[in-house]
């Protein structure tokens, strides 16, 4: 009895070999029932290999990460010695790490910037208040002067002769006029005292402003290395070269103007030095002309011609002359 397998069985050895090759994948893909029940050692080994492969990169990277962490720790652990003032005011030295040093510098820079901004705003506010105060004082002085003139004009005070005549004619009216005159005089005196007080305050404010401007100007000029001697030299140049009077120079309080005048004085000094050097070079004695060296061949030819001219030539000279010719 023939089966389906027998019908398709290979006839020769070559056909059998081809049949086995063609069906090798199918045999491996369809395990038997016994093979299904047994645990797969190859799969376990494959899984362990895959797990090892996955674990290897982490193991390989962990030393690098440890080295980077150690490097970072070494960088952050750098110490610097910084001199500071102790609580008792004495100088002392402490050690700080890099992060603390950078943070301290940033805090100091921020504090300096804010302090400068605050000082600038304070100067601006002070300038505004000073201007308003001066305007108020000027207005008060103007109004007080006008009031003083108005009181004197409209009071209608009598002259001494008129008062004597009034006392003779109407003693009661004379008493009233004397009281009125005393009241007017007291009012005028009060206005005059107010004017004097405001004048003194204006003068005091002016001196304070000048003193403050003087100190601020010197603070700025010292940053440029300008002291009183250098400033006097600059002012002398401004007076001599630009005919600026001393009275005007005495009122200069702006450091920017002083810097401009300093540059102008330096330019004038450079011009004077250039003129002096040019004149000195012109007055200096002329150097003799440099003698040019005569080539050796020309020297030999000249010596040879001289010997022929003087009749002292030799056979070797004749041979040399023929060779040169």
Answer yes or no: do 196 and 229 share one domain: no
| 170 occurs within a structural domain | yes
In a domain, 51, yes or no: no
For residue 236, what pLDDT is reported?
94
Q: Please indicate, yes or no, whether residues 168 and 253 belong to a single structural domain of this protein.
A: no
Closest CA to 268 of 243, 245, 250: 243
Residue 22's pLDDT is 58
The tokens for 227 are 């002291």
230 and 271 assigned to the same domain: yes
Residues 180 and 205 in one domain: yes
Residue 242 shares a structural domain with residue 197: no
List, as one string, the DSSP characters of 6-52.
Answer: HHT--SSHHHHHHHHHHTHHHHHHS--HHHHHS--HHHHHHHHHHHH
pLDDT of the residue at 172: 92
Q: Considering the domain boundaries, does residue 111 fall inside one?
A: no
Residue 211 lies in a domain: yes
pLDDT digits (tens), the chain, 325 positions: 444 444 455 555 556 556 555 554 544 444 555 444 555 444 444 554 554 444 444 444 455 555 655 555 555 557 777 677 777 777 777 777 777 767 777 777 777 778 777 777 777 777 777 777 778 778 877 887 888 788 777 778 788 888 899 889 999 999 998 898 899 888 888 988 888 888 888 889 888 888 888 898 899 899 889 999 999 999 999 999 999 999 999 888 889 999 999 999 999 999 888 888 887 777 777 766 666 677 888 788 888 788 878 877 777 777 777 777 6
Considering the domain architecture, whether residues 204 and 250 belong to the same structural domain is answered as no
Among 120, 80, 73, smallest CA distance to 104 is for 80
Q: Are residues 170 and 230 in the same domain?
A: no
Please indicate, yes or no, whether residues 173 and 261 belong to a single structural domain of this protein.
Answer: no
| Domain identity same for 126 and 212 | yes
If one counts the domains in the chain, the total is 2
Q: Is residue 303 part of a domain?
A: no
**What is the C-alpha separation between 226 and 247, in angstroms, rounded?**
21
Answer yes or no: do 185 and 254 share one domain. no
Quote the Cα angle for 125-130-131, to 5°: 100
Residue 16 lies in a domain: no
Give the per-residue pLDDT at 5. Answer: 46
- Classified as helix, coil or strand, 322 is helix
Whether the CB-CB separation of 93 and 100 falls below 8 Å is answered with: no
Tell me whether residue 29 is in a domain.
no
pLDDT at 262: 94
Please indicate, yes or no, if residue 231 is contained in any of the structural domains: yes
In Å, how far are 249, 259, 296, 297, 301 from 321, measured between CA atoms? 86, 79, 15, 12, 8
Host domain of residue 200: 121-217
Shared domain check, 234 and 207: no
**Longest C-alpha distance within the chain, in Å?**
184
- pLDDT value for 28: 47
Same structural domain, 205 and 243? no
């Amino acid at each position: 009895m023939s089966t389906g397998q027998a019908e398709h069985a290979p006839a020769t050895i070559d056909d059998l070999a081809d049949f086995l090759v063609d069906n090798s994948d199918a045999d491996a893909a369809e395990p038997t029932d016994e093979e299904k029940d047994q645990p797969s050692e190859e799969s376990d080994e494959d899984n362990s290999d895959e797990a090892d492969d996955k674990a290897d990169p982490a193991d390989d990277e962990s030393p690098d990460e440890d080295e980077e962490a150690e490097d970072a720790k070494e960088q952050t652990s750098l110490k610097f010695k910084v001199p500071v003032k102790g609580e008792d005011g004495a100088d002392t030295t402490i050690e700080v790490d890099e992060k603390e040093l950078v943070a301290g510098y940033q805090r100091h820079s921020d504090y300096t910037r804010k302090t400068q901004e605050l000082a600038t705003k304070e100067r601006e506010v002070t300038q505004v208040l000073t201007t308003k105060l001066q305007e108020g004082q000027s207005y008060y002085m103007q109004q007080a002067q006008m009031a003083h003139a108005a009181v004197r004009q409209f009071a209608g005070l009598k002259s001494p002769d008129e008062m004597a005549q009034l006392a003779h004619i109407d003693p009661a009216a004379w008493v009233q006029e004397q009281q009125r005159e005393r009241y007017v005089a007291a009012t005028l005196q009060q206005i005059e005292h107010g004017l004097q007080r405001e004048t003194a305050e204006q003068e005091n404010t002016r001196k304070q402003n000048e003193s403050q401007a003087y100190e601020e100007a010197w603070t700025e000029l010292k940053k440029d290395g300008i002291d009183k001697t250098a400033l006097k030299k600059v002012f002398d140049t401004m007076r001599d070269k630009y005919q600026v009077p001393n009275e005007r120079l005495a009122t200069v309080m702006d450091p920017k103007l002083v810097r401009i005048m300093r540059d102008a004085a330096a330019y004038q000094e450079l011009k004077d030095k250039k003129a002096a050097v040019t004149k000195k070079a012109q007055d200096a004695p002329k150097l003799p002309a440099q003698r040019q060296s005569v080539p050796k061949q020309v020297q030999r030819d000249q010596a040879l011609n001289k010997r022929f001219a003087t009749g002292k030539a030799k056979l070797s000279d004749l041979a040399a002359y023929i060779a040169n010719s």
